[in-house]
Structure 1
Amino acid sequence: MEGAWRKVRRALGLRLCVHAPRVGGCERRAPAGVGGCRRDVAVTVAASAAEGESGPITPADALRRSTSRGRSSSSSKGKCAICFATMRSGHGQALFTAECSHMFHFQCISSNVKHGNYVCPVCRAKWKEIPCRSLSSNSPAGRIGINQRSPQQDPLMALNRQVPNRRRDARRLRTPEPADYNDDEPLQHKEAFDNLNFGSSRTAGISSYPEFLAVPQSSSIDGFDILIHVKAPTASPDHVTVSLANESSVRSTSRAPVDLITVLDVSGSMAGTKLALLKLSMGFVVQHLGPSDRLSVIAFSSTARRLFPLRRMSHHGRQQALQKINSLGAGGGTNIADALKKAMKVIEDRSYKNSVCSIVLLSDGQDSYNISSNVQGTSADHRPLVPSSIINDERNMVPLHAFGFGADHDSDTLHSIAEASGGTFSFIEDEGVMQDAFAQCIGGLLSVAVREMRLSMECVDPGVQLCSIRCGSYPSKVARDGRNGSVDIGHLYADEERDILLAVTIPKSREQTSLLRVACAYRDPVTNETIKIQGDEVKIKRPTSIVSEPVSIEVDRERNRIQAANSIESARAAAERGTLSEAVTILEDCRRVLSESFASQSGDRLCMALDAELREMQERMANRQLYEASGRAYMLSGLSSHSWQRATARGDSTDSTTLVYSYQTPSMVHMLQDSQNHSWRSLMQGNSPLSRQ
């Protein structure tokens, strides 16, 4: 008898509904439906334990055994086939209807399937979808496809099952957020860097390319193009990132430390695999931040909450961050504005400031609280989503890099937010590359080599005037008299390059003409030292007769890129008007013009990549449904990449053919390779940082 009771207690420990075995001729009875199981099923469980049977016994197992002993199971309409209690909606119990049309209490059937029983207890039909509460913490009746893998074999399911649903406890124990977010952790002590050589002999470089090297003396030209090429310093040899395989390699580096605020969508649509991949991606980010970097996480659904203040990613800080991230559950609506306001409050209220600061926003849905509805095709109003501090401070903007996930996200909104802040918009079409997209972005943020760069140009010859500056979304100014101008480039990652196309007026002249002087000034993000660089004067020869001279391939290449970007914008506008055929024609015409250019006929790789990009966009405009699902987001991500000349993730991969020229830097490529080497392999082997929590 003692052994029987021990096994009954073991069954109770598994949260099965059982009743005690008979003692002294007395049997305890319970009314039907109490505890979620029928009396005869409970007795079968207890009897099986007394007989010495091993392994967990579910109520459905007991039901089958009791049926085999001659007891008839009721399958009357309106009763659960497991507990035989009445099933009525609105009576406080969740219901589950299987593919075979049999209905059960969710509590009863979930106990059945959690031990691997994926068949209907009534008709024995095999299920393709099963009730699984661990993948939908917000819904009591979530479903997941079996995919011929048990939860123990599926790493994403295992990741979600590691942290129990503690929403009720969290709601009870959660302390209210402070009125001011000035509780950020102090920066790493300066003494920790005293023995490191932060100085670098590397500086940014400036190159100039006139459209032609010679212009006849008798010619005056309006709109003579000059390309200004700027390249940031190369990453230092001792630049080290955190390795997932060897955390002991973490040490301070010569790069600038970062304050990073990640704003994560945990609305109901993120439940399941999406949330698991988000946790995995954030685990990768956390592990690659160094002890001088600080991280704060804002999670949002119907409302936003700060998971923790800006905290240095020391060993202890990383462990706490991973625990908070891993405890996230999904549920509710999508309130992007509330999340961004909290993110900006974290930045504005911080007591200490690292030299580099950025926001990363990920969402898979549309804001359901703050955007004005479209009326007769007019554009939605995105202004309520963007904090005024992002728009009003051009010189000290905090770039917000937005990631749109899946086919249902609002790419227009996310692109507008990113554009207003000086950040990029990326389109993650395939959920499997979410971590790669994050890795590429983080690879750039952890290699900032230039801050507050301003490029200035001044006309030299009295007859030369500056007509225009083509620099994408970067703020630029041209003086009224056309004698000088400037471009605010802001911060650059190590090895990043920028191309600025100027147009000037050239007068007639009998002598060599000096057109421009170009210079730039920026701050070193590590030493905060102001560095000034003077470029060479741009000069052209003035022969007496016309000479046959090819156009500069550098200038022609940049003109092709600008023309492609303008065509993409025009095609998008046509598509939004509902004329997809016109949009496709615009892109086709641009491809034809590019193919006839000097750079293209010289075999330029950029022209080949531009053609592939435009062709991909044409294919995504084959019909309205395809355009709505992926074409719009793909085009907006491309526009974001071209306007800032910075890498974005596009489509289903960060390594597609159209991204040959994707502005990726060596640091981005290195981080992307690290992500691809450590994502699924680490998770399958149990080496993922989140799998260790």
Structure 2
Amino acid sequence: AKGTAADETVRVSATPVFPAIPWAQQRDDFEVLVRVEAPGAAKMHAPIDLVAVVDVSESMNAAAASPGGPSRLDLLKKAMKFVISKLDSRDRLAIVAFNDHVVQEYSTDLLRISSDGGLRARRKVNELMAGGRTAFKPALERAVQILDERPIEEDRLGFVLLLSDGIEDSGIKWCKEGIGRTSLFSKYPVHTFGFSASHDPKALHQIAQASRGTYSFVNENLESITSAFAVCLGGLKTVVAADMHIKLTAAEQGGVEIKSIESGGYRKQISSDRRRGEIILDALYAGEVKNFIVRLRVPAACVVDHQHQQQQHLLTLAADHRSHRHATDIDAISFDAGNAVVVHIQRPQVVTDAARQAPSPTVVNHIVLFELVELVAKFVRDELDDGVVATVDLGSRLESKWAEFKERHKFWSGVDLGSLDSDIGAMASSLRLGGSGAGAAYTYSWLSSYRMQRATTMGSPHKVVPEFITPMMRLMLKEAMEFQEPIDKPCRAGRQDDTFNVDFEIIDRRLELWYKLKREMPTLIQQPLESLEDSEWNHLTAITQEASVEAINRAMHYDMYLVCDWVLIPVVVT
């Protein structure tokens, strides 16, 4: 884009699988790779509204590792405090705590992180206590309601984080058919996090997939849930384009048609005349690269066209995005495709040049990758989504399908399948260990990552697809691993009275009154009595004022002690 630095430009490009087709030849399945590249870094980020939907059911009281150590709830609190610490003053956060219903006393509306919003959010996190069963739907409905009730003129980006360590108890079946009948997940991406080996990977994956979010899980070291949040937050804080539309238009002449679009988890549409198509990205993060395959029907060139030119126009690409009133940094991002990208190929009578006969290795490898993702998706639908406990070795079955896949593609020019062997091996191993239950989590998370072309945590922060990690995600992950925060309890370790509570709002008002009284004390002393000499009255006034100030100080110190005792005393682990 003219006048714009390269690192502030969203680039859209296209590469045909072959640079040339003989003019008399027809191709019914001609692939074009469409590539969207975001700038590597953003100087600022669009302010976000984040709703954290957190499970506080009874199972969150379980020890995260050894008995007597921090509980799952303790580690969730630490992770939430990391999130709060990384949000900026323009961001807002809401907390929806749930078990089998929304727990109002632990939940908040949207709080602006500037002012005292961050402090209020931390207080709510400290107050979290676990109990009850598990139901996702009421909490998700509340999260959507919070985002829906924002004034239209605010026009801010909205996201939902959902964390759970358990299985839905309400009887709702989280399947594609059931989710498809509700509009609950059509507006805001829901990024789901499975916490421990006892969570429900199928439900969390279905929720993420339906909302175009991602599914991550942590089951090896539960303390790394902070890192899992960090990977996700590293993307949300660097959105460079929102509601981005990649518009495809087939050439007016030559009879070219758009047959299909391989877009993974992103929305797509093709017009009835197959001359126009569209790929829609809800949000593009700084440093991300998205690849899509567009399949065209390219007829043979007519004799008249061939006599006039040996180059044929196939496709035109253009990109635009929604402008946000409060996202001036997004509006500053330019698009390299602002003047459109035109895809041409050569149409000679005969293709004799060996270089033009060979397919593009980059395009071929992305074609194969999309086919593999679809193979895994079909495996998930056939073997995992039906909810039936498997009686066969699912790991061996997946490896068998992978062997057949490699055999079919072994003669494809330029194909490199070696890098995916370890991924399939890890999925197969997980399925052998955990079957169609907990063992399916790795497969679901891998599928989520590749469908959205976005980083997910697959068991631990060390198991992330490297090419999907952005610079900000890497930085945020490093900060999460260095994050030190004492694990707070709502009461001092060893205290028997667990019902003791502190009303911070009352203490705030009381301290304000103490300060005011202390400041105005001199004016509150009555005028001297006629029966006393001036020296006697001055002496009495000094004694009274000194005693009053001392009493006020004692009262203030006690209130501050209550706050410190409640908020700042760390757990004593023996």
Scaled by the length of structure 2, the TM-score of the pair is 0.73
Q: Quote the offset at 1:235 in angstroms.
A: 2.2
Q: Which residue is equivalent to 2:427?
A: 617
Q: Which residue is equivalent to 2:366?
A: 558
Q: Where does 1:228-267 land on structure 2 (aligned, <5 Å)?
A: 228-236=34-42, 239=43, 254-267=44-57
State the Cα deviation string for residues 335-368 of structure 1 (Å, max 9, x = none): 2111111111211223474521100000011111
Q: Is the partner of 1:618 in helix, strand or coil?
A: helix
Paired AA for residue 655 in structure 1: H
Q: Which residue is equivalent to 1:534?
A: 339
Q: Quote the offset at 1:384 in angstroms.
A: 6.9
Give the one of 281, 290, 297 matched to 2:88. 290
Paired AA for residue 355 in structure 1: R
Contact map agreement 2:316 2:340 (CA 8 A) in 1: yes
Paired AA for residue 442 in structure 1: L
Q: Where does 1:166-177 land on structure 2 (aligned, <5 Å)?
A: none
Tell me, yes or no, if structure 1 residue 401 matches structure 2 residue 159: no
Cα distance, 1:595–1:515 mapped onto 2, change above 3 Å: same
Give the one of 423, 433, 437 matched to 2:224. 433
Paired AA for residue 286 in structure 1: I
Tell me, yes or no, if structure 1 residue 590 matches structure 2 residue 415: no
Q: Is the partner of 1:458 in helix, strand or coil?
A: strand
Contact map agreement 1:356 1:448 (CA 8 A) in 2: no
Cα distance, 1:595–1:292 mapped onto 2, change above 3 Å: farther
Q: What is the rounded CA distance, in whole Å, between the counterparts of 1:385 and 1:370 in structure 2?
A: 14
Contact map agreement 1:301 1:331 (CA 8 A) in 2: yes
Paired AA for residue 466 in structure 2: V
Contact map agreement 1:641 1:648 (CA 8 A) in 2: yes
Tell me, yes or no, if structure 1 residue 512 matches structure 2 residue 306: no
Q: What is the rounded CA distance, in whole Å, between the counterparts of 1:594 and 1:611 in structure 2?
A: 14
Q: Quote the offset at 1:470 in angstroms.
A: 0.7
Contact map agreement 1:259 1:357 (CA 8 A) in 2: yes
Judge which range, 569-578 or 486-495, deviates more: 569-578
Give the one of 101, 113, 119 matched to 1:313. 113
Q: Is the partner of 1:540 in helix, strand or coil?
A: strand
Q: Is the partner of 2:89 in helix, strand or coil?
A: coil
Judge which range, 518-527 or 431-440, deviates more: 518-527
Give the one of 337, 343, 367 matched to 2:143. 343
Give the one of 536, 539, 546 matched to 2:351. 546
Tell me, yes or no, if structure 1 residue 328 matches structure 2 residue 328: no
Q: What is the rounded CA distance, in whole Å, between the counterparts of 2:568 and 2:406 in structure 1?
A: 48
Paired AA for residue 73 in structure 2: L
Contact map agreement 1:600 1:608 (CA 8 A) in 2: no
State the Cα deviation string for residues 271-303 of structure 1 (Å, max 9, x = none): 142111101100100000111111110111122
Q: Quote the offset at 1:515 in angstroms.
A: 0.6
Tell me, yes or no, if structure 1 residue 660 matches structure 2 residue 466: yes
State the Cα deviation string for residues 437-477 of structure 1 (Å, max 9, x = none): 00000111111110111111111132211111110122212
Q: Where does 1:56-205 land on structure 2 (aligned, <5 Å)?
A: 202-205=8-11
Q: Is the partner of 1:654 in helix, strand or coil?
A: coil
Contact map agreement 1:340 1:386 (CA 8 A) in 2: no
Q: Which residue is equivalent to 1:678?
A: 483
Judge which range, 460-469 or 347-356, deviates more: 347-356
- Consecutive unaligned residues of structure 2, counting only runs of 5 or more, are 64-70, 488-566
Q: Quote the offset at 1:381 in angstroms.
A: 4.9
Judge which range, 285-294 or 494-503, deviates more: 494-503
Contact map agreement 2:141 2:184 (CA 8 A) in 1: no
Paired AA for residue 519 in structure 1: A
Q: Which residue is equivalent to 1:413?
A: 203
Contact map agreement 1:334 1:368 (CA 8 A) in 2: yes
Tell me, yes or no, if structure 1 residue 450 matches structure 2 residue 450: no
Give the one of 26, 31, 51 matched to 1:220. 26
- Consecutive unaligned residues of structure 1, counting only runs of 5 or more, are 1-198, 240-253, 373-379, 602-606, 685-689
Paired AA for residue 477 in structure 1: Q
Q: Is the partner of 1:333 in helix, strand or coil?
A: coil
Q: What is the rounded CA distance, in whole Å, between the counterparts of 2:26 and 2:373 in structure 1?
A: 29
Give the length in aligned residue pairs. 453
State the Cα deviation string for residues 370-394 of structure 1 (Å, max 9, x = none): 415xxxxxxx657777994434x5x
Q: Is the partner of 1:204 in helix, strand or coil?
A: strand
Q: Which residue is equivalent to 2:75?
A: 277
Q: What is the rounded CA distance, in whole Å, between the counterparts of 2:166 and 2:414 in structure 1?
A: 41
Q: Quote the offset at 1:496 in angstroms.
A: 1.5
Q: What is the rounded CA distance, in whole Å, between the counterparts of 1:668 and 1:588 in structure 2?
A: 34
Q: Quote the offset at 1:313 in angstroms.
A: 0.9
Give the one of 492, 502, 515 matched to 2:284. 492
Contact map agreement 2:399 2:425 (CA 8 A) in 1: no
Q: Is the partner of 2:109 in helix, strand or coil?
A: strand
Q: Which residue is equivalent to 1:466?
A: 258
Normalized per residue, which structure has more helix? 2
Paired AA for residue 491 in structure 1: A
Q: What is the rounded CA distance, in whole Å, between the counterparts of 2:414 and 2:238 in structure 1?
A: 32
Contact map agreement 2:201 2:437 (CA 8 A) in 1: no
Q: What is the rounded CA distance, in whole Å, between the counterparts of 2:346 and 2:219 in structure 1?
A: 51
Q: What is the rounded CA distance, in whole Å, between the counterparts of 1:479 and 1:383 in structure 2?
A: 25
Q: What is the rounded CA distance, in whole Å, between the counterparts of 1:555 and 1:615 in structure 2?
A: 25
Q: What is the rounded CA distance, in whole Å, between the counterparts of 2:410 and 2:425 in structure 1?
A: 13
Higher relative contact order (CA 8 A, sep 6+): 2
Q: What is the rounded CA distance, in whole Å, between the counterparts of 1:592 and 1:618 in structure 2?
A: 18
Paired AA for residue 363 in structure 1: S
Contact map agreement 2:234 2:472 (CA 8 A) in 1: yes
Contact map agreement 1:382 1:413 (CA 8 A) in 2: no
Q: Quote the offset at 1:589 in angstroms.
A: 2.3
Cα distance, 1:590–1:315 mapped onto 2, change above 3 Å: farther
State the Cα deviation string for residues 204-251 of structure 1 (Å, max 9, x = none): 111111001111222211101000101123423xx4xxxxxxxxxxxx
Contact map agreement 2:160 2:189 (CA 8 A) in 1: yes
Q: Is the partner of 2:93 in helix, strand or coil?
A: strand
Q: Is the partner of 1:308 in helix, strand or coil?
A: coil
Q: Quote the offset at 1:629 in angstroms.
A: 4.7
Judge which range, 575-584 or 266-275, deviates more: 575-584
Q: What is the rounded CA distance, in whole Å, between the counterparts of 1:342 and 1:490 in structure 2?
A: 21
Q: Quote the offset at 1:574 in angstroms.
A: 4.2
Tell me, yes or no, if structure 1 residue 641 matches structure 2 residue 443: no
Q: What is the rounded CA distance, in whole Å, between the counterparts of 1:462 and 1:566 in structure 2?
A: 31
Q: Quote the offset at 1:506 in angstroms.
A: 1.7
Cα distance, 1:593–1:386 mapped onto 2, change above 3 Å: closer
Q: What is the rounded CA distance, in whole Å, between the counterparts of 1:200 and 1:555 in structure 2?
A: 24
Q: Quote the offset at 1:569 in angstroms.
A: 1.7
Q: Is the partner of 1:628 in helix, strand or coil?
A: coil
Q: What is the rounded CA distance, in whole Å, between the counterparts of 2:383 and 2:28 in structure 1?
A: 34
Q: Quote the offset at 1:660 in angstroms.
A: 2.5
Contact map agreement 1:344 1:387 (CA 8 A) in 2: no
Q: Is the partner of 1:451 in helix, strand or coil?
A: strand
Q: What is the rounded CA distance, in whole Å, between the counterparts of 2:274 and 2:178 in structure 1?
A: 37
